[in-house]
Amino acid sequence: MTIEKHPAIVSVVTRGISDDNNSIAIHGNTVYLKVAKAGQAIFFYASEDGENWSIIRAFSLGKNPDLRIGFSSQSPAGDRCTTVFSEIQYLPKKVDLWAGK
């Protein structure tokens, strides 16, 4: 997906049907992603430097959801893309939900 001819962060949330949210353009070749949950609220974040985070989506799936989260990449307008997902980790810690830190 492109926003103004740049690769972009797109999130999909499925609650019976799936919806796409085109959020921010990526200007380099690296992006950091973060997911946080507080009660029923779920937040998705993105950062190009790993320090400054932007909320790209906030939503709820209701009480006791069958929650599954994953990462994927695609090239809908090009021949192909190569993606490496690295440093994936789970940290059970409190996050400032509005700053993503």
Distances 38 to 58, 74, 93 between C-alpha atoms, Å? 11, 29, 11
Enter the pTM of the model. Answer: 0.80
- Provide the number of structural domains found in the chain: 1
Residue 50 lies in a domain: yes
Q: Say which residues have a Cβ less than 8 Å from residue 6's Cβ, sequence separation at least 6.
A: 25, 26, 27
Residue 86 lies in a domain: no
Whole-number pLDDT of residue 46: 92
Residue 84 lies in a domain: no
Residue 28 lies in a domain: yes
Whole-number pLDDT of residue 38: 86
Whole-number pLDDT of residue 21: 85
- Is residue 23 within 8 Å of residue 12, measured between CB atoms? no
Structure tokens at 86: 């690295």
**φ/ψ (deg, to 5) at 93:** -140, 160
Q: Running DSSP on this structure, what letter comes out for residue 16? A: S
Residue 100 lies in a domain: no
Whole-number pLDDT of residue 4: 63
Q: Which domain holds residue 31?
A: 2-60
Residue 18 lies in a domain: yes
Residue 70 lies in a domain: no
Q: Say which residues have a Cβ less than 8 Å from residue 8's Cβ, sequence separation at least 6.
A: 1, 2, 22, 23, 24, 25, 26
Residue 31 lies in a domain: yes
From first to last of its 101 residues, what are the pLDDT tens digits of the chain?
Answer: 445 667 888 888 888 889 888 888 888 888 999 999 888 888 999 999 999 999 999 998 888 767 778 888 887 777 778 889 998 888 888 888 888 88
